[in-house]
Structure 1
Amino acid sequence: MEFLRLSIHQTNAQIGIQTQLAGQDIHSRAGDLSIQQPPAKVEMESPAGELEIDSSEAWAALGKGPHLEWLNSIYSQSKSVALQAIAKMVEDGNRMAQITNHQNAFADLAQDVYQRKNPIEYAGEPSYFNVKVHYQSHSPIINIEPQKAEIQYSPNKPEVQYNPGSVDVYVKQKNAIDIQVSQYDWYK
């Protein structure tokens, strides 16, 4: 007995995809920068210092000071000089009154006259410290006026180039169905 046989064969479709990536080129030049710094304004004032020199004690020590001060110095010594002179007279009188002394008191007193110093001091004591020096300095006056920097910047536009990509879609293999009817012998 002969039967009919149905054969179905299917072929699947295949899709092919081919892509090309997009590209991008960017070039950016540096911007133009200009910086200028004006110098700061500076004003300085330095007041002169004050120097004071007092040499009055030095002149007095040399005996060449002001006349009135010189006379006052002599006058202030006169009381003590007078008291010293009285004391010396008493001492000399006591020496002359000593009869028991074998030395000649009159000759000794005559000799002392030539060796005596003047008890009045007409000049002062010399010293480095007789001249007084005083200096007063003054701080400088400084005014500073800062100046701002002048900054100018000009940006440059970037150069952008775009290369688009592509996608190519195509049928690589078509789909198909093959249907065949054939004879089939069961006993064969």
Structure 2
Amino acid sequence: MNISTVQIHTTKARLGITTTPSRLSIEQPQATVDIRQPKAEMNITTTPGRLTIDQTQAWADMDRKHIFQRIKEAASEGRQKALEGTGRRAAEGRELADIHKGGNAIAMQAARSNTRNYETGLAWVPSHGSVKINYEPGDVRIDAQARPVENHTRANKPIINYQPGSVKVQLKQYPSIDFQVVNKTV
């Protein structure tokens, strides 16, 4: 027996996709830096300290005096001794004038002039507080004026390059259906 059968052949459609990727490039240029720091203005005024030491009295206590002071003291002492000597001689003259009243005036005058008083002691040690010290402290004035920072820094914009990608779709193979009638013997 002959039977007719239908044979169906199909061909699938094939798509072809071609892509071009997009490109993105970003460059960030460095910032333009412009910073200045002006110098601060500073004025410093000083008044120096003053130290005065007066040792005149200490040197005088140790008998190490200035020549002008020695001359002045010697002149004063000489005048005093001259006055004392004049007074002593006048008193001794009166004693001698009164010799007739009795007494031994010449022996007494000889004994007085033979006895001398000498002062002893440490003459080279100055007295307490004989060195005068005076100190006037100094002064420092500082006048500083800071200057602000001058900042003119600019940020640069980024450089952006973008190339869009693409997608192309094409039909590489068309679909098809093929029908065929085939006779078969059974």
TM-score, structure 2 as length reference: 0.61
Cross-structure match for 1:94? none
Secondary structure in 2 matching 1:57: helix
1:136 Cα offset (Å):
4.0
8 Å CA contact 2:24–2:160 kept in 1: the answer is: yes
1:59 Cα offset (Å):
4.9
Cross-structure match for 1:89? none
Cross-structure match for 1:125? 124
The 5 A counterparts of 1:10-159 are: 10-61=10-61, 62=63, 64=69, 113=114, 118-119=118-119, 125-127=124-126, 130-159=130-159
8 Å CA contact 1:60–1:124 kept in 2: the answer is: no
Q: In the alignment, does 2:177 pair up with 1:173? A: no
Aligned residue type for 2:12: N
1:15 Cα offset (Å):
1.1
1:144 Cα offset (Å):
1.9
1:119 Cα offset (Å):
2.7
Deviations 1:117-142 (A, max 9, x none): 52388x95345984343434334222
Deviations 1:130-169 (A, max 9, x none): 4343434334222222111111023333332221211110
Deviations 1:4-40 (A, max 9, x none): 1111122211111110101123333323221111111
User: For the residues of structure 2 that align with 1:9 and 1:118, how far apart are their CA atoms?
Assistant: 162
Cross-structure match for 2:184? 184
| Identical aligned residues as a percent | 30
TM-score, structure 1 as length reference: 0.61
Secondary structure in 2 matching 1:184: strand
Secondary structure in 2 matching 1:32: coil
User: For the residues of structure 1 that align with 2:21 and 2:41, how far apart are their CA atoms?
Assistant: 62
Secondary structure in 1 matching 2:19: strand
8 Å CA contact 2:31–2:153 kept in 1: the answer is: yes
User: For the residues of structure 2 that align with 1:128 and 1:13, how far apart are their CA atoms?
Assistant: 132
Secondary structure in 2 matching 1:52: strand
Cross-structure match for 1:107? none
Compared CA separation, residues 10 and 168, structure 1 to 2 (3 A): same
Which runs of 4 or more aligned residues in structure 1 lie more than 6 Å from their structure 2 counterparts after TM superposition? none
Tell me how large the CA RMSD over aligned residues is.
3.4
Aligned residues: 142
Where does structure 2 lack aligned partners over 5 or more consecutive residues?
78-110
